[in-house]
Structure 1
Amino acid sequence: MRKTLLTFLFTFLAFSQIWAQNKPTGIAAKVAGMQKFSGYFPFYWDEATGRILLEIDKLDQPFLYVSSLAAGLGSNDIGLDRGQLGGEHVVYFQKVGPKVLLIEPNQRYRAMNGNPAEEQAVAQSFAQSALWGFKVEATEGDRVLVDATEFLLRDAHDVVGSIRRSRQGSYRLDPSRSVMYLPRTRNFPQNSEFETTLTFVGGEDAGGFVRSVTPSAQAITLRQHHSFIQLPDKNYTPRPMDPRAGYFGIEYMDFSTPVDQPIIKRYIARHRLQKKHPAAPVSEAVKPIVYYVDHAAPEPIRTALLEGARWWAQAFEAAGYKNAFQVEILPADADPMDVRYNVIQWVHRSTRGWSYGASVTDPRTGEIIKGHVSLGSLRVRQDFLIAEGLLAPYEEGKPANPEMMKMALARLRQLSAHELGHTLGIMHNYAASVSNRASVMDYPHPSVKLTASGQLDLSDAYAVGIGEWDKLAVAYGYQHFPSGTDEQAKLDQLLREGYQRGLQFISDRDARAPGGAHPQAHLWDNGPNAADELNHVLAIRKKALERFGENNIKPGVPMALLEDLLVPIYNYHRYQVEAAAKVVGGLNYTYASRGDGQLVTALVPEAEQQQALDALLATLQPQVLALPERIIAAIPPRPAGWSPTRELFDKRTGLTFDPLAAAEASADFTLSFLFHPERAARLVELKARGSKLGLDEVLDKIIDQTWNAKRASGLEGQTQLLTQQLVLTHLMALSQDENAAYSVRGTALLHLNQLEKHAKKLAKSSDEGVKANALLALNRLLKPVEAKPQLHKDLPPGAPIGSMAPIGCE
């Protein structure tokens, strides 16, 4: 028995020694039994613990890290949309003892001359960022294994901050309800993709925007995505930015630059595109640019998105490429967040909102790695609604007018092309509408015509195809020149020739400012002359209102919903008002460079300013502002179950429709531009430089056509009195505005003094309405500091709803 036991013991010890010698060690031991995902950075899924273990086999090698939002909140106002990209970070893993740090060098400050000492000096002068610290779990040679779970399950997209900044509640990430999302966690040779399900809890102070889009405001569950991406090779050549070309881009300070050269370097953002045969006039590309349309978009929308996006092929063909730009349907098993796919994504929200074109860009060079378009699905419905308001198409016994759907799909094609243009690197061009619709990168207003028989014609509401500016922009950004070409000279020649053909480029800052001065840079306008177009859209508006009634809605629809269609028709002229206002006190200019022959600055001719002022004052006339009785009588309060929305007119009458509040908002809109302190300051300046139209003359004319106008009766008379009070508010506010020039405030005070004398005369009128209005004005004049235009009623939103940053959006 003892011998048997000894034999067993020796055998066991021998086998134990052999097992110990062959026992898995290091990384292999740590990941034994786990599911391996081979690819760019190998990683392992531990089903038992819900962990992701990341194998780092590229220490100290830079790569691109991008976080994004795969499944969103659905609120325009908060802005956490499905498919929303985060920022790009060039990072690398650095091992120090038992830790691995994820380091992001500072790309904004560089030394690019290849001198290591200068590079080190710059690196040590500016902070870098350690984005995360990982504990080493195992090592094997030059490979390191870390637990990446906590890194991946954090709030990388700052959902908590977005909700807090929107004042929609205080939330925190709940780790107990946050897990990996394995269906979209994948690995590929040049990119590793991770997706997580994150739950944010709290919500005791949740706002209405959160409550409207969540099953329970106490728990918001979203999905975030992380991408580790291999950086492009060094064969890409950055293209310098030119202010005349209209591109987004990158910029950084290069401290190795000679003193007599600009230290700030700027390069455009663009995809890599090269001709197979650079010397050939037309050549296929080495690698074409391919975009994919979301297969979730239904027909006929999907086809419209495809058609609009494919317009850009025209621009690349004009630049000498063959089949270099392609658009297909996204494969059913593809992930839109996968960096390998340029996508046009169909995004749903609770209310209509901005669409936008974003991209993943190499911060080192400006090379676009992934284009990502997000199109709000409710936008097409808004265009259909506008067409319903214009056409009154539901006449009993007749089929619905097909022009409504045609117009809505035409707009969708244009929107698809517009947002895709941003992902090619191209900025907005708001001066394109004056040059025969020269760019899809403008914001288009429907171009509706009046036929000889007085009918509204929507057949040419939106342009078809790429414009001449778009072709010029693509040529500047993507033209591939043969070796030995003076590329900079060729690019400059392209821009000069474009200007000589009448192509202009003016972008967001100049077009969006309420006090803007450029007479040709506007959002959602048409035509070469802002005043002429304002008169035209007023005629379209008048015709649409003349036929407005129950035929604007389908049989069986609550009559109260007529208000939904009335809003965009009553305010149909709103954008052209803004365009015309910029002509008054306007200054024409371009982004000229020395010696390029472009206009530098030029004052807008007085006659053109006067024409614009007259057109603007027409929008304040009682017959324009007052709605006819038949429309007012046709709109009852909304029935139970149809709650009012912010898309409707604001009211002072409770539940009932308020035509005077609608008039108040419209008149106030016009006056807010005319009384803008920046415009007022320019008008004072122009008068000092010899113009006959200064701030005095503008204020005189406004007062003459409101306070001094012939008394109207009925609702028009009440609208007239209301407009007089609005003028008074703006005049008092301008006199008290500490940001306004002294000369502006003084001029406003002078006109207030004159208006006070006039009001004292009107206070003696036998007309009770006129007398009451004058007494109110005199009372308000006692406290001019209390004049606040923001207390007036506002127009319902015309532009997409939400706080999305407009640059790169529409």
Structure 2
Amino acid sequence: MIKKMLFLGALAIFSVGCKSPKPITQQAPKPEKNKSDLKEYSQVITSEAKSDEGLFTTHFVGDKLYFEIPVNLFDKDMLLVSRIAGIPSGFGGGYVNAGSKVNEQVVRWVKRNGNIDMKVISFENQSDEESPIYKSVQANNFFPILFSTEIKTWSKDSCSVVIDASGLFENEVDAINGISANLRKRYKVKKLDKSRSYIESANSYPENIEIKHVMTYEADSPPERDQAGTISMLLNQSMILLPENKMQPRLADPRVGWFTINKYDYNSEELKADDYEIIRRWQLVPKDIEAYKRGELVEPVDPIVYYLDPATPEKWRPYFKQGIEDWNVAFEAAGFKNAIIAKDPPSKEEDPEFSPEDVRYSVVRYVASTTRNAVGPSVTDPRTGEIIESDIIWYHNHLRSYRNRFMIEAGAQNPNARTLNTPEAEIGEMMRMVIAHEVGHALGLPHNMKASSAYPTDSLRSAEFTQKYGLTPSIMDYARVNYVAQPGDDGVRYIRMMGPYDLYAINWGYRYLPEANSAREEKETLDKWILEKAGDPVYEFGNGYSGADPQSQRESLGDDQVKASAYGIANLKKVVPNLVEWTSKDGYGYDDLAEVYRELGYMWRGYISHVITNVGGVYETRKTADQSGLVYEPVPEKIQKQAVEFLNKEAFTTPDWMLNQKLLGRIDASEAIDRIQGFQSKALENLLEKDRLKRMVLNNEMNANDTYTVTEMMKDIREGVFSELYNSQETDAYRRNLQRSFVDVAASYLNELEERKNDEVLKSDIMALMRGELNKLRSDLSKRKNSVNHELTRYHWKDLIARIDLATGTDA
């Protein structure tokens, strides 16, 4: 009853006179069937129809799905969001989960004589409707038709048309398809099997329609062998009515991290189409604007409300609520109080038709799944950037990720981490901060991987500092556990929390500016706020995507990656001997031990990677033309040399501490050893990858007097990796594998010359560098190949000579 009342209220807005709005594009008239030529309404929508009223009414008649669309919804902007609701095991290699978004596009239902078309609308290219160029923009951005069907009948009051919408969901429509082109190729998908594809459900709400449909594809190589040569998946299509009253957009600035939408303005005074971005954010307007202007905290007209999923376990609900409402501190910095509210799911008595599918409700969904993740997606109006709705997804097995990480990274320092039954206070705090992180995404904030580098590394060993400032200035950084803290650093904080950058970013994006009548008028104020914080690393932003800035990396802590990784590895060395005791349980095997040990190896690999990024690294400080100083600066020579010294010691030396026989004797030792060898080889390949070498060559030319040259780096690595050769010592299996990797990586560049695979590399100094290094190494091997009595070592060095000869085309 509540839902129908709300539906009727929403419909009243559009139904005065039942007149269809004037079409945006006038078309030449064509003959159209008279309404009398169509079937009667009762002949199409029979007494057996299962109907649901809402934005427009859906009807199931047998296996057909009909939409009854009010004429006043023609030419209205609706957002069509396509998601995967159910997938087979192993689909996408574990990188695609239920809830993953496939596509998001604006559509309009348009009447074309006796047909109804669904058109895809773009707002990327814009122009003032009164401008002469407007017609050209329209003509050069003609909207495609996604779906078209005949009108089957009219409602009795002639206020709605009825169409058969089955074909949109039962046929393969690329724009809402759940299988990407790459996955089609990977699984050798042949075609859609219509006999096993069908519409499962259709639900209508006051502001959205939700359709679930099963799509079954014939495939020669499905993700799991037992899938009978098919891939079946459940898709969810959401059709959401966009607001009539458009929010004023806010221009994005790359110096402050926000999810954005690209735009092109053809009315720009620039001698080109002005490309710009707007940020994604909820619309918050103060109830009392005058009080807001006076600096008082004011509640918003429409606060952001998140409901907990009814499936959320009672014990975790307080932590989820705290994680949501933690953001009120940031919104207070923007002048709002009670801006975000967490609520328990309503009872049947409070709201008998409450549904997480209803776009009016944003929900933190608790999903019973083995997926170890949490995500914070949102639905955004592409016209203005207004976030309309959001569903945070917590997958149950994400608890496992944090349980393991806490043991691995804090077990050496914190007694509470030395168990797989992590105490509720600790695991609850971790869940709280994960939810806060995902809510941050849903508020419009992307990852800020640069934030953690604002704090001195050793400050993370201070109880006073970490309890006040946390591990990083932003909850949006990946800095989950304090691995820098050492045994004896009593009272330190181990779990991340919200920081000053988060308050700054929310104020910048959500502060209501009543005096500004356009996004352009806001820019001066927004720029002023950025310049006030310029030069303070606490307020800098970096997404970490470039891979070149060592200060902008996931899971990194502190401003000194070499020192932080040294602390982290020191802790791992203390954890490994205790893992059997900490993970064992009477009457059970060693699966948990194997899992934690495997993930410990990944942590070690991550610490090594943090250090590698300093070599040939470039610091990025985002600036505009009115700010002094450079945007890109190479990492100082001293730091790069320290990084290579660290790598020779911790990455390229056999990690005996990982080869704990008490531990390996209880799991698959050969797999563990192969993994360690793989980590070392991958670290070397990463260090010698082409983009890093190109940056070092460029830096040599631009900063000749204060640069760690690429030839110095290669010499230091070669002498480290082949230290046994230069010290007349025998090599073990790990070192032999690493030394072969060095030759293979260098040789792979020369192979590109023969195969003409990469002109960019062929024309660079990398070819000469690698040829020179191989020739130097060959000379050294030839001189010293018989300097040890260890026969396998001598064979190994002679084999390397043969490999180098093959790569360089040298006659033996």
Normalised by the length of structure 2, the TM-score is: 0.81
Q: 1-side partners of 2:794 and 2:66: how far apart?
A: 78
- The one-letter amino acid of 1:37's match is D
Corresponding position of 1:187: 204
Q: 2-side partners of 1:404 and 1:761: how far apart?
A: 60
1:287 aligns with 2:302: yes
2:782 to 756, 760, 767: 760
1:38 aligns with 2:38: no
Q: 2-side partners of 1:391 and 1:443: how far apart?
A: 16
* Change beyond 3 A, Cα 1:80–1:542: closer
2:503 to 471, 474, 480: 471
* Change beyond 3 A, Cα 1:392–1:505: closer
Corresponding position of 1:684: 697
1:662 aligns with 2:682: no
2:800 to 777, 782, 807: 777
Helix, strand or coil at the partner of 1:572: helix
How far off is 1:287 after superposition? 0.6
Q: 2-side partners of 1:391 and 1:346: how far apart?
A: 27
2:178 to 159, 167, 170: 159
1:270 to 267, 281, 285: 281
1:698 to 688, 713, 723: 713
1:602 aligns with 2:602: no
Note if contact 1:284-1:322 (Cα within 8 Å) is conserved in structure 2: yes
- The one-letter amino acid of 2:119's match is I
* Change beyond 3 A, Cα 1:302–1:760: farther
Q: Deviations over 1:211-234 (max 9, x none)?
A: 4xxxx5456554333333222123
Corresponding position of 1:360: 379
- The one-letter amino acid of 2:281's match is R
Q: 2-side partners of 1:83 and 1:424: how far apart?
A: 18
- The one-letter amino acid of 2:305's match is V
How far off is 1:540 after superposition? 1.0
Q: Deviations over 1:274-303 (max 9, x none)?
A: 111231421110110112232323354444
Helix, strand or coil at the partner of 2:387: strand
* Change beyond 3 A, Cα 1:66–1:770: closer
Q: Deviations over 1:432-474 (max 9, x none)?
A: 1112401111112421355555xx989633213x211111111
Structure 2, gaps ≥5 residues long:
1-35, 348-352, 456-471, 753-757
Q: Which moved more, 1:79-88 or 1:761-770?
A: 79-88
1:147 aligns with 2:182: no
- The one-letter amino acid of 1:471's match is L
Note if contact 2:771-2:808 (Cα within 8 Å) is conserved in structure 1: no
* Change beyond 3 A, Cα 1:450–1:196: closer
Note if contact 1:448-1:457 (Cα within 8 Å) is conserved in structure 2: no
* Change beyond 3 A, Cα 1:573–1:120: same
Helix, strand or coil at the partner of 2:60: strand
* Change beyond 3 A, Cα 1:308–1:165: farther
Note if contact 1:160-1:171 (Cα within 8 Å) is conserved in structure 2: no
Note if contact 2:39-2:152 (Cα within 8 Å) is conserved in structure 1: no
Q: Deviations over 1:377-419 (max 9, x none)?
A: 32220221234456779xxxx9957656555443332222222
Residues 667-746 of structure 1 correspond to what in structure 2 (within 5 A)?
Answer: 667-688=680-701, 689-690=703-704, 691-709=706-724, 717-737=732-752, 738=758, 739-740=760-761, 742-746=764-768
Q: 1-side partners of 2:423 and 2:187: how far apart?
A: 37
* Change beyond 3 A, Cα 1:334–1:71: farther
How far off is 1:629 after superposition? 5.0
- The one-letter amino acid of 2:713's match is V
- The one-letter amino acid of 1:568's match is E
Q: 1-side partners of 2:779 and 2:429: how far apart?
A: 55
Corresponding position of 1:535: 566
Note if contact 2:331-2:507 (Cα within 8 Å) is conserved in structure 1: yes
* Change beyond 3 A, Cα 1:253–1:199: closer
Helix, strand or coil at the partner of 2:376: strand
Residues 125-136 of structure 1 correspond to what in structure 2 (within 5 A)?
Answer: 125-136=140-151
Corresponding position of 1:497: 532
Number of corresponding residues: 725
How far off is 1:550 after superposition? 4.3
2:550 to 502, 513, 519: 519
Helix, strand or coil at the partner of 2:92: coil
Corresponding position of 2:604: 573
Structure 1, gaps ≥5 residues long:
1-21, 638-655, 787-810
Helix, strand or coil at the partner of 2:243: coil
Helix, strand or coil at the partner of 2:133: helix
How far off is 1:558 after superposition? 1.8
Q: 2-side partners of 1:155 and 1:306: how far apart?
A: 41
Note if contact 2:453-2:558 (Cα within 8 Å) is conserved in structure 1: yes
- The one-letter amino acid of 1:196's match is K
Q: 2-side partners of 1:709 and 1:478: how far apart?
A: 60
Note if contact 1:626-1:715 (Cα within 8 Å) is conserved in structure 2: no
Note if contact 1:80-1:159 (Cα within 8 Å) is conserved in structure 2: no
Q: 1-side partners of 2:723 and 2:52: how far apart?
A: 79
How far off is 1:247 after superposition? 1.0
Note if contact 1:167-1:207 (Cα within 8 Å) is conserved in structure 2: no
* Change beyond 3 A, Cα 1:662–1:80: closer
Q: 2-side partners of 1:392 and 1:533: how far apart?
A: 16
How far off is 1:100 after superposition? 1.4
How far off is 1:699 after superposition? 0.9
2:494 to 442, 445, 461: 461
* Change beyond 3 A, Cα 1:621–1:577: closer
* Change beyond 3 A, Cα 1:172–1:414: farther
- The one-letter amino acid of 2:477's match is D
* Change beyond 3 A, Cα 1:239–1:53: closer
Q: Deviations over 1:170-192 (max 9, x none)?
A: 3644444444444xx3333333x
1:96 to 112, 124, 129: 112
Q: 1-side partners of 2:371 and 2:625: how far apart?
A: 47
1:250 aligns with 2:261: yes
1:55 aligns with 2:53: no
Q: 2-side partners of 1:321 and 1:754: how far apart?
A: 66
- The one-letter amino acid of 2:699's match is L
Q: 1-side partners of 2:513 and 2:537: how far apart?
A: 25
Q: 1-side partners of 2:444 and 2:799: how far apart?
A: 55
Q: Deviations over 1:540-565 (max 9, x none)?
A: 11111243434432222224653222
Residues 111-130 of structure 1 correspond to what in structure 2 (within 5 A)?
Answer: 111-115=127-131, 118-130=133-145
- The one-letter amino acid of 1:296's match is A
How far off is 1:744 after superposition? 2.1
Note if contact 1:53-1:149 (Cα within 8 Å) is conserved in structure 2: no
* Change beyond 3 A, Cα 1:104–1:172: same
Provide the alpha-carbon RMSD of the alignment.
Answer: 3.3
Helix, strand or coil at the partner of 1:446: coil
How far off is 1:718 after superposition? 2.8
Q: 2-side partners of 1:457 and 1:709: how far apart?
A: 42
Q: 2-side partners of 1:761 and 1:299: how far apart?
A: 71
Note if contact 2:86-2:235 (Cα within 8 Å) is conserved in structure 1: yes
Residues 606-625 of structure 1 correspond to what in structure 2 (within 5 A)?
Answer: 606-624=637-655
* Change beyond 3 A, Cα 1:86–1:673: closer
Q: 2-side partners of 1:555 and 1:714: how far apart?
A: 45
Higher RCO (C-alpha under 8 Å, 6+ residues apart): 1
- The one-letter amino acid of 2:203's match is R
Residues 77-92 of structure 1 correspond to what in structure 2 (within 5 A)?
Answer: 77=92, 81-92=97-108
